[in-house]
Amino acid sequence: MLSLYGWIWLIPIIERIMPLKGQQLIRPGIINDLIHTYHRVHLWSMLNAALVSWLVAYSLNHGEQGPYLRGALINAHWSVNVIAVLVFGHVTFYAAHLACHKVPLLWQFHRVHHSSVKLDSFSTSRFHIIDKTLFATPYLMLVTYFQPDPGIVFLFVSFNDFWGRYGHGNIRDPHWLGYVMSNPKFHRWHHSNHPDAIDKNFSAEFNFLDWIFGTAYYPKEEIPENFGSEEYSNNIIVQHYQPFLDCYRIVKNDGWMALLRKPKTSPVKQQPVTGN
Ligand SMILES: [Zn+2]
Ligand SMILES: [Zn+2]
């Protein structure tokens, strides 16, 4: 609710006041992204509700400390909870996001998010339901297992939602911030088609894993531009069945194993999309 009726309309105002690059509010795909934004509760709930139900059942049966650090954060100091919740969020998002770019099967679903030709805070919600669930799963499993303070988890999820919108925003902020956080310029490089920026900047909030593992791309003087794919549909319905067609095409052309690793000769990410 904070997101849908709060900062979702606050961040576009900031985008008007201090834009990274001049851009109109009404741009290609805006209707699609608004539908993604306001329907996401219903769409995501189908798979996420099943996942959360399973996790709730697990935590009801294992709601105390046990072997292998199960419930290790019960009664831990709040500062330990904060650090753990942030680290869980950063590590799981980075790992899941890296996999989404490296494994062709996952990329077909994740490329929906990367299809935006013009980026602003409304692009944040453009996700395939399966992709979004895959991102949430490892985090929810860790939280259920280690059982940190639910209030701190709620604060993190709210912060994560706010920062996701801010990070996709067309906003100019201090360059130094990108050395610590995935700010708009840092994340826009992730969406950029610039050859040096491909498969870079996987972080969502803090970005120390990108700097540690050498996947950060953050030049000081340049501004990222040229995003997404003109050929990919701006229709939310097509965006939800297109990945299945693309997977089918890959299997038909290159076999099942091509879903798990990229063929050396024809990178999957550069295949043209047809049948939109
Ligand atoms: Zn990505
Ligand atoms: Zn993004």
Residue % of the chain over a pLDDT of 90: 64
Minimum mean pLDDT range among 137-141, 143-147, 161-165, 259-263: 259-263
The pLDDT value recorded for residue 275 is 41
Q: Say how many Å lie between the CA of residue 123 and the centre of ligand 1.
A: 12
Q: How many CB atoms lie within 10 A of CB 185?
A: 23
* CA 220 vs CA 70, 210, 223, 224: distances in Å: 44, 16, 8, 11
Query: Which ligand does the CA of 101 lie closest to?
Result: 1
Give the span between the Cα atoms of 85 and 79, in whole angstroms: 10
Query: Which ligand does the CA of 188 lie closest to?
Result: 2
Is the model's pLDDT at 4 over the cut of 50?
yes
Query: Which ligand does the CA of 93 lie closest to?
Result: 1
Q: Say how many Å lie between the CA of residue 201 and the centre of ligand 1.
A: 8
Q: Say how many Å lie between the CA of residue 196 and the centre of ligand 1.
A: 15
Q: Say how many Å lie between the CA of residue 64 and the centre of ligand 1.
A: 36
Q: Say how many Å lie between the CA of residue 59 and the centre of ligand 2.
A: 31
Whether 202 contacts 209, CB under 8 Å: yes
Which is nearest to 183 in space by CA: 167, 203, 201?
A: 167
Residue listed under structure tokens 């699609």: 32
Mean pLDDT of 18-37: 87
Query: Which ligand does the CA of 187 lie closest to?
Result: 2
* Average pLDDT score over the chain: 88
Which is nearest to 186 in space by CA: 163, 159, 161?
A: 163
* CA 31 vs CA 28, 35, 67: distances in Å: 8, 6, 50
What band does 273 get if pLDDT is binned at 50, 70 and 90? very low
Q: Say how many Å lie between the CA of residue 244 and the centre of ligand 1.
A: 18
The pLDDT value recorded for residue 274 is 43
* CA 16 vs CA 121, 169, 191, 262: distances in Å: 11, 10, 21, 40
Mean pLDDT of 182-208: 96
Phi/psi-derived region of residue 183, left when phi > 0, alpha when psi is between -120 and 50, beta in every other case: beta
Using DSSP's 3-state secondary structure scheme, residue 181 falls into strand
Under 8 Å CB-to-CB from 163, ≥6 apart: which residues? 181, 182, 204, 205
Q: Say how many Å lie between the CA of residue 148 and the centre of ligand 1.
A: 28
Give the span between the Cα atoms of 69 and 88, in whole angstroms: 15
The pLDDT value recorded for residue 7 is 76
DSSP one-letter code for 272: P
Q: Say how many Å lie between the CA of residue 190 and the centre of ligand 1.
A: 7
DSSP one-letter code for 206: B
206, β-bridge pairs? 181
- Tell me, rounded to whole angstroms, the distance of Cα 93 from its chain centroid: 8
Is the model's pLDDT at 80 over the cut of 90?
yes
Query: Whole-model pTM?
Result: 0.89
Backbone angles phi, psi at 181, to 5 degrees: -125, 155
Strands (E), 48-129: none
State the burial class of residue 53 (Cβ atoms within 10 Å of its Cβ: 0-12, 13-18, 19+).
exposed
Q: Say how many Å lie between the CA of residue 169 and the centre of ligand 1.
A: 16
Query: Which ligand does the CA of 94 lie closest to?
Result: 1
Task: Return the higher-pLDDT residue of 126 and 5.
Answer: 126
Residue % of the chain over a pLDDT of 70: 91
